[in-house]
Amino acid sequence: MTEEIIIAGFGGQGVLSMGKILAYSGIMQDMEVCWMPSYGPEMRGGTANVTVILSDERISSPILNEFDTAIILNQQSLDKFEHSVKPGGLLLFDNNGITRMPQRNDIQIYCVEAAAEASQLSMEKAFNMIVLGAYLKLKPIVELDNVIKGLEKSLPERHHHTIGTNRDAIVRGMEIVQQYQF
């Protein structure tokens, strides 16, 4: 099994850290992992994206042009990566701020209203964990327990008290994700 994922959104949305937590979760499950960020000026306020690969085998290229899954958190990223999803693959997006909806009919498209939910529950900082929960509901490639272990590994100790909140956010994401209706 190899899962090739692109996560893309604005800098500050937690795109890179979500990828890191997912990668650490993979390690907790004895998988091979690779996390390849966009780095440089685009990180400072523009769009940020990260490629995460989880696999049972040695991982080849960290640079890819098509993905099993695209997790999309803004319009620019939707425009850029909708066509990079492999036929039959998964596109998961948050419709907050999206004006041009996804068009493809040869892939699975799901929507998670994570920004709205995070704001309603006053857990804005756990926004990316709601998205991660939605993804894991659709592709349960890592177990929730291993995600929690991954969180423990990737968060500095001073933030360990937030793990409960993060867990709640992941579970909430699993509950609210739904198939996108054209």
Partner 1 sequence: MAELRLMKGNEAIAEAAIRAGADGYFGYPITPQSEVLEYFMAENATERTGMVVLQAESEVASIYMVYGAASTGKKIMTSSSSPGISLMQEGLSYLAGAELPCLVLNVVRGGPGLGDIQPSQGDYFQSVKGGGHGDYKLIVLAPSSVQEMSDFVPLAFDLAFKYRNPALILADGAIGQMMEKVDLFEPIPRKTEITEPWAVKGKQPGEPKRTITSLDLDPYGMEKHNEHLQAKYRAMEENDVRYEAIQCDDAEYIFVAYGVSARICQKAVQLAREKGIKAGLLRPITLFPFPKKQLAELADRVKGFLAVELSAGQMVEDVRLAVNGKVKVEHFGRMGGIVHSPFEVVAALESKIINV
What does the per-residue mask of binding to partner 1 show for 57-86, with x meaning CB under 8 A? --xxxxxxx---------------------
- Alpha-carbon separation of residue 50 from 15, 80, 117, 120, 148 (angstroms): 7, 13, 23, 27, 21
C-alpha dist (Å) from residue 136 to 28, 45, 86, 106: 15, 27, 19, 21
CA distances from 99 to 74, 76, 113, 172 (A): 10, 11, 14, 25
Minimum separation from the CB atom of position 179 to partner 1 (A): 30
Q: Which is nearer to partner 1, 75 or 154 (CB)?
A: 154
Binding positions for partner 1, 11-30, rule CB under 8 A: 20, 23-24, 27
Size of the site for partner 1 (CB under 8 A): 21
Q: Is 55 in the site for partner 1 (CB under 8 A)?
A: no
Q: Which residues bind partner 1 (CB under 8 A)?
A: 20, 23-24, 27, 32-37, 39-40, 59-65, 153-154
